[in-house]
Structure 1
Amino acid sequence: MAICGRRSRPKFILYILGAFVLGYLLFHRNTRSDVGLASRRELPVDQHKNVDEEFLKKPVYEKPPLDVHALGEMGRAVKLDLTEEEKREEEESIKKHQINTYVSDRISLHRRLPERWNPLCRNLKYDYLNLPTTSVVIAFYNEAWSTLLRTVHSVLETSPDVLLTEVILVDDYSDRDHLKEPLENYIADLKKVRLIRARKREGLVRARLLGASIATGEVLTYLDCHCECHEGWLEPLLQRIKDEPSAVVCPVIDVIDWNTFQYLGNPGEPQIGGFDWRLVFTWHTVPEHEQKRRSSATDVIRSVLSGCTK
């Protein structure tokens, strides 16, 4: 039995396509929040309210058992007693990477840092199932093996699994052998880690944009390729974006010594990064009017624009 003849077939196909698109849009609109949330969190919608917060805070990977005697553990400075040959190797590593990778290579990729955050931060609660997810983009060029992978592991071991969509490594046309097949083989065994390579040297900004072009998380998070994350670093950033979707947020950035890899922290009140009139970046204290506006030490510090008048 024929449904339609040749002349009416194009119209019939258009009707079918139109009905399909309309049905999809209606279904997608009515179920996007519930279905998307359930699939993203891998939990039935009706069980969300019963999930334990400690479960939701679990990272992609747990850190290995703590070895308090390991070099650099808990952010301790590493000072080695080296032979003359070893000193030459250390100096060569500094010339090559501008940081002491000879020391870095002897520190665990999974080391812990001491907690130096404000005690009030522990009182903050987050609705993990309703925070946006994020893709962490890490661009690198000829980065040292241990500093790059310590960054990756610190993200995987401190970011709640339910919030971290992926870690995207962007190789900005490196020419070091350890960043070729050895890196590909290493990350092949890591969950949620992807590697893409630029076809030519792009520079930091374009390399980050390359990572953004394939990201699937709801928020883009950019990290340097030689940093370490604290537990609890991600939640307040995503909470701020949930509260103010147009906000561009930045965490408190502590200091790790380039030579000994000692975690120096950032004592006292957080500071605001900015530029002077020569466009030199420097840190500024929080202005008095901003300090008065904040009712708690955990409140957001707004960026400040200033200029001169004629």
Structure 2
Amino acid sequence: MLARTCSTAKGPNSSPGELLSCNLWMNPNSNITLICMSFCSAEARVSCKCTSLHYDSDLPPTSIIITFHNEARSTLLRTIKSVLNRTPVHLIHEIILVDDFSKNESDCQLLTKLPKVKCLRNNKREGLIRSRVRGADAARAKVLTFLDSHCEVNKDWLPPLLQRIKQSKQAHQRRGSAGDARFKMIWNFIYMVKKVLDKDPTRVVSPVIDIINMDTFAYVAASADLRGGFDWSLHFKWEQLSPEQKARRTDPTQPIKTPIIAGGLFVIDRSWFNHLGKYDTAMDIWGGENFEISFRVWQCGGSLEILPCSRVGHVFRKKHPYVFPEGNANTYIKNTRRTAEVWMDDFSLFYYSARPAARGKSYGDIQGRVELRKKLKCKSFKWYLDNVYPELRVPDDSDSQSGVIRQRQNCLESRRVEGQEMPILTLGPCGGVEGVPSSSQEWVYTHGQQIRQKQHCLSLSTTFPASQVLLLPCNMADGKQV
């Protein structure tokens, strides 16, 4: 069902958000475009069942955190205006804007004239990831809602998300008091300890993300049968639910389990967010943080869901409107490499295979995140693949090719030398029997673009021209082995 729902500022009967936003942006000294526009967006619903759902009257209020850097004023205002106009006021504890050192210092402060809006400004460029952590640290509600600065929330977007968070906490409360009379006291004690330590695993929930056309700003409803996916290069993609998954969904309003979230839009219990380690603040600017937090949530006891009855529009840009100090590609590689090294275990070799440019690139100190994973007793990435994303195909030996490396009548071979730990490389007459090369002359070209023989790979001694070729232990992270 697709209906039109419009709200227009018409004077004293309009909502506070409409009146104040109109007056605020008329200030001629602010050099800001007047945006007293009618707000008309598609009220996208997966089915009529969504409109018949009822939500608890005592849903927990949330702190809504929006970070921005040099965001277009009209787009930022559209985001905030939609939140104020389409959210029950008692569910908004506060709207925290984190200005990541934008050029115009006054934008954020001017917006505090809107109801519920607070402003934090970084004194230097920190990037989206660290800015979100700053906003979360300042939040006072028990539930955090993260939004991008170029969104438009739809009608009834928030209650489904908060209801699911509340149900998650109630489920763990019931679990904590389960058992017969002999164990009831023990269960209650364990539950109270867990509650004090904020260690109750919980859901992280996300809306269906609709599309706002970046040129016309038209609102286009997205399919409700999508979930987040990715390939081994850690490139995010939307993917359709399989026929089997669709068949299991007897109710179109049911949550959709998703291996990964898009990143910018989700709701999470604050204590769970803090217990999980917030974000990896050694990541820079933007990119890859959605993989890191998604792997962490699943592997450390939580789950990710998309709720079809909650919809938020998002402007998907063709290019970034701001500058990456180290370049977009280098920043993304650093962030995703940190993710791969901490969370993907031996499966990180497939990341390096798919993204060979990541080999040898600096990714900073990850010891703190490794210790966090140990402290939280998180599951392996194999568990994640088996239980969360079995659809991600793991490359196997069938992706490799074997043969000899030949120069006329001679072939490259490895040879053991007494007193040396590593074999050396030499050229020798091509051998073998009936076309099958000898083991010392057989090489495998792997899906990871390495040339290997058992546990050793051909490797350059340096990255300079005319470097010596050596035989060294295989290391997917070594850019000299490609």
- The two structures share one fold, judged by TM-score above 0.5: yes
1:39-188 superposed matches below 5 A: 64-65=9-10, 108=36, 111-117=39-45, 118-129=47-58, 131-175=59-103, 177=104, 180-184=105-109, 186-188=110-112
CA distance in 1, matches of 2:166, 2:8: 28
Match of 1:194 in 2: 118
Cα drift, residue 110 of structure 1:
5.3
| Residue 290, structure 1, aligned to residue 245, structure 2 | yes
After superposition, the Cα gap between the structure-2 partners of 1:297 and 1:65, relative to the gap in structure 1 and judged at 3 Å, is farther
Match of 1:263 in 2: 219
| Residue 233, structure 1, aligned to residue 157, structure 2 | yes
Give the SS at the match of 1:251: strand
Cα drift, residue 108 of structure 1:
4.4
Cα drift, residue 189 of structure 1:
2.2
Match of 2:294 in 1: none
Give the SS at the match of 1:292: helix
CA distance in 1, matches of 2:51, 2:87: 16
After superposition, the Cα gap between the structure-2 partners of 1:290 and 1:154, relative to the gap in structure 1 and judged at 3 Å, is same
Give the SS at the match of 1:236: helix
- Bigger relative CO (Cα 8 Å, ≥ 6 apart): 1
Cα drift, residue 214 of structure 1:
0.7
* Matched pairs, number: 206
Correspondence for 1:207 among 116, 128, 131: 131
Identity percentage of aligned residues = 42
After superposition, the Cα gap between the structure-2 partners of 1:110 and 1:132, relative to the gap in structure 1 and judged at 3 Å, is farther
CA distance in 1, matches of 2:43, 2:120: 33
- Cα deviation 1:108-144 (Å, max 9, x = unaligned): 4551212121221100001122x12111100000111
- Cα deviation 1:155-205 (Å, max 9, x = unaligned): 111111111101000011112x2xx22541x32321110000112211111
Match of 1:29 in 2: none
After superposition, the Cα gap between the structure-2 partners of 1:275 and 1:107, relative to the gap in structure 1 and judged at 3 Å, is farther
CA distance in 1, matches of 2:234, 2:37: 35
TM-score by length of 1: 0.62
Give the SS at the match of 1:162: helix
Q: Structure 2, unaligned stretches of length 5 or more?
A: 1-6, 12-32, 170-201, 260-388, 397-482
Letter in 1 for 2:233: R
CA RMSD of aligned residues (A): 2.2
Higher relative strand content: 2
After superposition, the Cα gap between the structure-2 partners of 1:210 and 1:183, relative to the gap in structure 1 and judged at 3 Å, is closer
Cα drift, residue 303 of structure 1:
1.7
CA distance in 2, matches of 1:270, 1:65: 38
- Cα deviation 1:184-232 (Å, max 9, x = unaligned): 1x32321110000112211111100000001011211111101101110
TM-score by length of 2: 0.40
CA distance in 2, matches of 1:188, 1:233: 23
Match of 1:13 in 2: none
Cα drift, residue 152 of structure 1:
0.7
* 1:290–1:301 contact (8 Å) kept in structure 2: no
Match of 2:208 in 1: 252
Cα drift, residue 107 of structure 1:
6.0
* 2:61–2:92 contact (8 Å) kept in structure 1: yes
CA distance in 2, matches of 1:257, 1:160: 27
Give the SS at the match of 1:152: helix
Q: Structure 1, unaligned stretches of length 5 or more?
A: 1-61, 67-104
CA distance in 2, matches of 1:218, 1:110: 33
After superposition, the Cα gap between the structure-2 partners of 1:158 and 1:236, relative to the gap in structure 1 and judged at 3 Å, is same
* 1:110–1:153 contact (8 Å) kept in structure 2: no
* 2:208–2:224 contact (8 Å) kept in structure 1: no
Match of 1:275 in 2: 230
